[in-house]
Amino acid sequence: MKDRITLRDLKNNQKRREFLEKELNINLDKISQINFEESKVVGRNIENLIGSTQIPLGIAGPLLVKSGDQKTKEYFIPLATTEGALVASVSRGCKAITEYGNTMVCVENIGITRGPVFKNENLKEAMKTQTWIKKNYKELAKIAESTSSHLKLLKADFQIVGRNLFIRFYFDTEDAMGMNMATFATEKVVELIERKTKAKCISLAGNFDVDKKPSWLNFISGRGKKVWAEAILSKKIIKDILKTTPSAITEVVARKCYLGSIMSGSLGFNAHYANIVAAVFAATGQDLAHVAEGSLGITTAEVLEKDSLYFSVYLPSLIVGTVGGGTHLPTQQEALKIMQVSNALEYSQVLGGAVLAGELSLIASLAEGTLAKAHKKLGRKSK
């Protein structure tokens, strides 16, 4: 009996597509429309390529951002989404905080992490392995950094449970998101640890990283980039643009973002960070699974003197890059050009400002009571 043809037997996207069309009796004309060279993505970004999928792309802004070094610049924000009202909402938030003058955004590079788990003979041996690693940290750093001229080992955290030793290595990977770089470096470090100790690495990724999962460790210690953004808005701006009041916004934050999150056991004390993070990620070629970490964070709101509003967002774990991954794809490259950012730190600043704008606008809509109305108007086609 002749073996059945599988997708891996077919050598290009056209043959795989034709196979599926015949097998499933469907037409894939729209999926066949790609604007990149197959050879530049297969083996780098994807396997079993059959084409591409499109997501509508909108623009929010302009958004005026002041960075931690006091430089002020105006940005446009590309948002790839299928959710009606999202771009309009972020645009409204951009208008409000740009009317104020600018928004301050600060970024701290924490580093991408990789966390192997080692099995030891017993608790005592686990302690000995940890001690050896600490004593030989400089040698391990040298080995890690030999794997790439763009990588630096920043630090290591440890946790022992039973005879298991968990290590969390932090790496500076410059403008790359750097997960692969961190993995390759950690592999070399693990090889030396196994040679010099009695420990056996059970998994190169032991969930102490924590990669592509929401966790308190990422929330508290940070991962990738920590981002803070803030704005102070007058009562008049809030009334004219956001159609509500500072006290109403503050109350929604307290009862929704704090109490509601506590009651539900949420790790996100915010309204919808993931919405903005996912849309910018999709537009600019980031790893979409890192929206899991990007959803973490805290929104704060306070009524100040003269009824002005202090509003801020904090994202402790933003995993981004401006080189590598999907950032080289043609449409993603154009979206990055729209942002006009020079490196991953500036990209993080703009994304932080975009989250601030989107968060402010949604919470104002909830405070005003127009969330359903906005989605009826913009989120679905009228009959």
The structural domain count of the chain equals: 3
Residue of 21, 157, 287, 302 marked active site:
287
Task: Please say if 83 is a catalytic residue.
Answer: yes
Domain boundary among 35, 54, 73: 54
Task: Please say if 375 is a catalytic residue.
Answer: yes
As a whole number of angstroms, the distance between CA 5 and CA 19 comes to: 9
Instruction: Determine, yes or no, domain membership for 233.
Output: yes
Q: Does residue 241 share a domain with residue 198?
A: no
Handedness of CA 105, 254, 249, 281 (dihedral sign): positive
Q: Does residue 332 share a domain with residue 235?
A: yes
Distances (CA, A) of 232 to 14, 98, 182, 270, 307: 54, 11, 39, 18, 11
Instruction: Determine, yes or no, domain membership for 216.
Output: no
Q: Does residue 158 share a domain with residue 92?
A: no
Instruction: Determine, yes or no, domain membership for 85.
Output: yes
Residue of 21, 38, 150, 375 marked active site:
375
Instruction: Determine, yes or no, domain membership for 28.
Output: yes
The residues pairing with 160 across neighbouring beta strands, listed in sequence order, are: 165
Q: Does residue 314 share a domain with residue 340?
A: yes
Q: Does residue 104 share a domain with residue 40?
A: no
Instruction: Determine, yes or no, domain membership for 213.
Output: no
Q: What is the CATH number of the domain that holds 240?
A: 3.90.770.10
Residue of 18, 21, 38, 83 marked active site:
83
Distances (CA, A) of 163 to 117, 123, 194, 197, 200: 10, 5, 15, 14, 11
Q: Does residue 234 share a domain with residue 86?
A: yes
Instruction: Determine, yes or no, domain membership for 219.
Output: no
Instruction: Determine, yes or no, domain membership for 211.
Output: no
Q: Does residue 95 share a domain with residue 120?
A: no
Which domain range does residue 39 map to? 10-54
Residues 6+ apart with CB under 8 A from 185: 114, 143, 144, 145, 147, 148, 151, 153, 169, 171
As a whole number of angstroms, the distance between CA 62 and CA 56 comes to: 19
Per-residue pLDDT of the chain (383 residues; tens, 9 = 90+): 456 777 778 989 999 999 999 999 999 999 999 999 999 999 899 999 999 999 999 999 999 998 877 789 999 999 999 999 999 999 999 999 998 876 899 999 999 999 999 999 999 999 999 999 999 999 999 999 999 999 999 999 999 999 999 999 999 999 999 999 999 999 999 999 999 999 999 999 999 999 999 999 999 999 999 999 999 999 999 999 999 999 999 999 999 999 999 999 999 999 999 999 999 999 999 999 999 999 999 999 999 989 999 999 999 999 999 999 999 999 999 999 999 999 999 999 999 999 999 999 999 999 998 766 656 666 655 44
Q: Does residue 250 share a domain with residue 191?
A: no
Q: Does residue 248 share a domain with residue 163?
A: no
Q: Does residue 320 share a domain with residue 264?
A: yes
Q: Does residue 289 share a domain with residue 368?
A: yes
Q: Does residue 347 share a domain with residue 258?
A: yes
Domain boundary among 144, 168, 203: 203
Instruction: Determine, yes or no, domain membership for 194.
Output: yes
Residue 288 carries which side chain, given as an amino acid letter?
Answer: L
